[in-house]
Amino acid sequence: MEYKPNIQDVAKLANVSIATVSRVINNQGGVRKETEERILKAINELGYIRNAAARTMKRKETNTIGVIVPDIKNPFFPLVMAGIEQKAREKQYFTILSSTNESPIVEKEIVKNFIERGVDGVIITTANENGDHLKLLQEQGIPIVAVDRSIKSFEVDTVLVDNVKGAYQAVQHLILQGHEKIAIICGPQTTTPGRDRFLGYKKALENYNIPLDERYVIQGDFGEQSGYLATQKLFALDDKPTAIFSSNNLMTIGCVKALEELNWKLGSEVSFIGFDDVDIATFLNPKLSVVSRPMYALGEIAFQLLHERICFKENLPKRKYLLSPELKIRQSCRLVKTLF
Amino acid sequence: MEYKPNIQDVAKLANVSIATVSRVINNQGGVRKETEERILKAINELGYIRNAAARTMKRKETNTIGVIVPDIKNPFFPLVMAGIEQKAREKQYFTILSSTNESPIVEKEIVKNFIERGVDGVIITTANENGDHLKLLQEQGIPIVAVDRSIKSFEVDTVLVDNVKGAYQAVQHLILQGHEKIAIICGPQTTTPGRDRFLGYKKALENYNIPLDERYVIQGDFGEQSGYLATQKLFALDDKPTAIFSSNNLMTIGCVKALEELNWKLGSEVSFIGFDDVDIATFLNPKLSVVSRPMYALGEIAFQLLHERICFKENLPKRKYLLSPELKIRQSCRLVKTLF
DNA sequence: CTGAAAGCGCTAACAT
DNA sequence: ATGTTAGCGCTTTCAG
């Protein structure tokens, strides 16, 4: 049973023209009830399923959006994806997902493939915020929504998390607890999240008149290993910090590992807040305080924006959403112990 | 710049026929070098990208495979997906992913949509192992590979993890450490993994002549909450178990949470082995022993099987792979303390 | 209410 | 080496 019936077969079996069949499968009305039933019956009998390729050729739309993420193994993205899919399904859109492994080259290939397939729009967390390689999409008039990382070289709808604010709140909290020697494990300053989280850190210090101490600023690369190393460096300091702010989830993990090995007591000897919730946060003792991002909402809004853009194209100003992260205070940050 | 150029535009600009252009974009050779260059130049100038829909109509193939998972938020699946994508990319295949949220109804919709789109094959971890809703695929002659969960109602290539063996090894390990009161937190007995892991548990007890004690068998649903509840039940027993085997990752997390709240000392008062590695495993103190599944390999092999099937269709026997999980002994299971 | 027919953009068989 | 042309299966005027 390998034969794929087409609209012709259905028409023949139902004794109508293919135009009528088309009307029925597209619910366009204007077909007598008996005729419709006859057609439906034929469709069922044959197991007819309409051919999307042929349909797309006429319609110039696929009801499909493409999603591009840099690393599907990072738990952040599946959660965003879940939000996107949910909203997309509601609007009868389908979602195709590809992961670039942070490679702009792969990303470009994927973009090209998405265009070939005629996706109606793209949601992307790009591997390269410059974004020149995404111009293809723009040239084809395919709407784009940038999620979590913005795109520099042209204007697109964007939904970001307020990284500055999240970092600011975390550091402010530490300051209000009496900390002054607050270290930051930075993300790459070539990425917006990396820069912005550092910015929030600086702003908080500034607002509370705490001078920035370069020794407490350690560069990391968002990888676990760099968080580990950074923590070791901080521990080696004569004048150790009393609190650490880590700029992302993986570095948090590295940091916690180092803390444990160094026997540098979390919560008591050194307070800690990390950016991004991590699975382990509530399993550690003390439980980790974190800045948590609304991943699901990020996905939902991204689809919302994309959908509007697909419907109204250019008759819409470019929009930038900035979602607020949530500071979840648990047990890893405590009032500073003053020594006098 | 909204106009999508087509093969005609390219042909006109390069002063050739569309057939020649087609030859070039498909690397079929038989075109004079200068001509080819002229065409390439025109393609570049116009920003031409070929239309997959039109191509598909002729070719009857899309170079695309569909992947269906029950829950993209479960970290298991993105890892499998990464393995699939890697292999697929090597063979120039594209991958489209959809998640069913464990709903067979959604799954059926997705299947239908995949067929509409003309995917060349499907890799699926089905939400309903019965599989009647997948017959559509079979009828259309679309190859299927089942991953992690088998399909009952017809024969397909399958790649599973040896759940019986994994559970057996875990429980055996506990037995050899002297445990006799070993509890299991079961997965749903309607799923193969749920059943098989229970089977492995029973087999191990049997082999070592330990009678099955119903009080130590708690039903869960693979969700975190059920692991939590199960642990509470076990703790409430007069004759508490000295070891717990949890049937999956999420229930492990629930279990560990409960353990902590109940102040039931992991490793000393109660030994533990869980099925599936979890992020937190090595952060806990003591570190969790687990049965770990080869997720990436699962994905790689699945694509391999699918690809062969796409190429050779029926001229291939149905194949069943059974990958061995790995028992990772860490610190959460200890020699039983005998009381006499 | 229904049908006939013109393509959508491409590939591939057949000419030249 | 290159061009001509017949569809692939569908949607959508335009007629009836």
A339, pLDDT greater than 50: no
pLDDT confidence band for B147 (50 / 70 / 90) = very high
Does the CB of B280 sit below 7 A from strand D?
A: no
Could you report the per-residue pLDDT of A257-298, keeping only the tens digit for each?
A: 899 889 999 999 999 999 998 878 888 888 999 999 999 999
A73, pLDDT greater than 90: no
Could you report the per-residue pLDDT of B180-201, keeping only the tens digit for each?
A: 999 999 999 988 899 999 999 9
Q: What is the structure's pLDDT at A340?
A: 45
- Contacts of B183 by beta carbon, 8 Å cutoff, 6+ apart: B216, B217, B218, B234, B241, B243, B244, B245
Q: Please name which of B138, B155, B120, B117 lies closest in space to residue B303, comparing C-alpha atoms.
A: B120
Q: Which chain B residues in 172-231 lie under 8 Å from chain A, judged by CB atoms?
A: none
Rounded to an integer, what distance in angstroms lies between the CA atom of residue B210 and that of residue B80?
36
Number of Cβ within 10 Å of residue A113's Cβ equals 18
Could you report the per-residue pLDDT of A201-255, keeping only the tens digit for each?
A: 999 999 999 999 999 999 999 888 999 999 999 999 999 999 999 999 889 999 9
Q: Separation of CA A58 and C1' D11 in angstroms?
A: 6
Q: Separation of CA A25 and C1' C2 in angstroms?
A: 15
Q: Identify the CATH homologous superfamily for domain B163-293.
A: Response regulator (3.40.50.2300)
- Could you tell me what percent of chain B has a pLDDT over 70? 98
Q: Which chain A residues in 35-54 lie under 8 Å from chain B, judged by CB atoms?
A: 47, 49-54
Q: Please name which of A202, A277, A212 lies closest in space to residue A241, comparing C-alpha atoms.
A: A212
Average pLDDT across chain A, whole number:
92
Q: Please name which of B215, B219, B250 lies closest in space to residue B235, comparing C-alpha atoms.
A: B215
Rounded to an integer, what distance in angstroms lies between the CA atom of residue B36 and that of residue B256?
65
A82, pLDDT greater than 60: yes
CB pairs under 8 A between A and B: 126
- Could you tell me what percent of chain A has a pLDDT over 70? 98
Q: Residue A11, CA: closest nucleotide via C1'?
A: C3
Q: Which helix (H) or strand (E) holds B115?
A: helix B104-117
Judge residue B227's burial from the number of C-beta atoms within 10 Å of its C-beta, 0-12 exposed, 13-18 middle, 19 or more buried: buried
pLDDT confidence band for B338 (50 / 70 / 90) = low
Neighbouring-strand partners of residue A243: A182, A271
CB nearest to B117's CB, from A52, A73, A136: A52
Interface test with A, best of B48, B90, B107, B283 (most A CBs within 10 A): B283
Does A163-293 match A62-161+295-324 at the fold level?
A: yes
Q: How many residues does the structure list for chain B?
A: 340
- Contacts of A101 by beta carbon, 8 Å cutoff, 6+ apart: A70, A71
Give me A64's structure tokens.
């499909």
Nucleotides of D under 7 A from a protein CB: 1-5, 7-13
Judge residue A313's burial from the number of C-beta atoms within 10 Å of its C-beta, 0-12 exposed, 13-18 middle, 19 or more buried: exposed
- The domain B7-48 is classified under which CATH number: 3.20.20.70, 3.40.50.300, 1.10.260.40, 1.10.10.10? 1.10.260.40
DSSP B138-197: HHTT--EEEESS--SSS--EEEEE-HHHHHHHHHHHHHHTT---EEEEE--TTSHHHHHH
- Cross-chain residue pair B97–A97, CB shorter than 8 Å: yes
Which residue type, as a one-letter code, is found at position A298? Answer: L
Question: Where exactly are the structural domains of chain B?
Answer: 7-48, 62-161+295-324, 163-293
Could you report the per-residue pLDDT of B297-329, keeping only the tens digit for each?
A: 999 999 999 999 999 887 889 999 999 999 999
CB nearest to B57's CB, from A54, A75, A99: A54
Q: Residue B89: how many CA atoms within 13 Å on its side-chain side?
A: 16
CB-based contact (8 Å) between B4 and chain A?
A: yes
Nearest residue on chain A to B137, alpha-carbon basis? A2
CB nearest to B53's CB, from A53, A72, A96: A53
CB-based contact (8 Å) between B34 and chain A?
A: no
Q: Please name which of B191, B145, B152, B169 lies closest in space to residue B324, comparing C-alpha atoms.
A: B169
Could you report the per-residue pLDDT of B193-252, keeping only the tens digit for each?
A: 999 999 999 999 999 999 999 999 999 998 899 999 999 999 999 999 999 999 999 899
CB-based contact (8 Å) between B236 and chain A?
A: no
pLDDT confidence band for B340 (50 / 70 / 90) = very low
Rounded to an integer, what distance in angstroms lies between the CA atom of residue B76 and that of residue B222?
13
- A73, B79 contact by CB (below 8 A): yes
B-chain residues within 8 Å CB-CB of A253? 283
pLDDT confidence band for A314 (50 / 70 / 90) = confident
A-chain residues within 8 Å CB-CB of B141? 1-2, 4
Task: Give the residue with minimal CA–C1' separation from D3.
Answer: B17
Dihedral over Cα of A32, A37, A39, A40: its sign? positive
- B84, B90 contact by CB (below 8 A): no
pLDDT confidence band for B139 (50 / 70 / 90) = confident
Does the CB of A54 sit below 7 A from strand C?
A: yes
B-chain residues within 8 Å CB-CB of A116? 49-52
CB-based contact (8 Å) between A63 and chain B?
A: no
Number of Cβ within 10 Å of residue B181's Cβ equals 19
Pairing of strands A94-99, A121-124: unpaired
B337, pLDDT greater than 70: no
B284, pLDDT greater than 90: no
- A124, A100 contact by CB (below 8 A): no
Q: Residue B4, CA: closest nucleotide via C1'?
A: C9
Rounded to an integer, what distance in angstroms lies between the CA atom of residue A227 and that of residue B150?
41
- Cross-chain residue pair B98–A79, CB shorter than 8 Å: no
Running DSSP on this structure, what letter comes out for residue B270?
B
Q: Please name which of B51, B161, B54 lies closest in space to residue A53, comparing C-alpha atoms.
A: B54
**How confident is the model over A111-122, as a mean pLDDT?**
94
Interface test with B, best of A266, A279, A287 (most B CBs within 10 A): A279
Task: Give the residue with minimal CA–C1' separation from C6.
Answer: A58
Task: Give the residue with minimal CA–C1' separation from D9.
Answer: A54
CB-based contact (8 Å) between B22 and chain A?
A: no
Q: What is the structure's pLDDT at A250?
A: 87
B-chain residues within 8 Å CB-CB of A142? none
Rounded to an integer, what distance in angstroms lies between the CA atom of residue B337 and that of residue A321?
58
Min Cα separation A205/chain B (Å): 32
Does the CB of B13 sit below 7 A from strand C?
A: no
- Cross-chain residue pair B53–A49, CB shorter than 8 Å: no
Rounded to an integer, what distance in angstroms lies between the CA atom of residue B294 and that of residue B327?
11
Running DSSP on this structure, what letter comes out for residue B239?
S
DSSP A174-202: HHHTT---EEEEE--TTSHHHHHHHHHHH
Running DSSP on this structure, what letter comes out for residue B15?
T
Min Cα separation B200/chain A (Å): 29
Q: What is the structure's pLDDT at B2?
A: 64
Q: Please name which of B168, B149, B171, B144 lies closest in space to residue B160, comparing C-alpha atoms.
A: B149
DSSP B20-67: HHHHHHTT---S-HHHHHHHHHHHHHHT----HHHHHHHHS--SEEEE
Q: What is the structure's pLDDT at A32?
A: 92
Three-state DSSP state, A2: coil
Number of Cβ within 10 Å of residue B51's Cβ equals 20
A-chain residues within 8 Å CB-CB of B112? 49
At the top level of CATH, the class of A62-161+295-324 is alpha beta
Q: Please name which of A180, A152, A69, A118 lies closest in space to residue A310, comparing C-alpha atoms.
A: A118
pTM of the predicted structure, to 2 decimals: 0.88
Q: What is the structure's pLDDT at A2?
A: 64
Could you report the per-residue pLDDT of B1-13, keeping only the tens digit for each?
A: 567 899 999 999 9
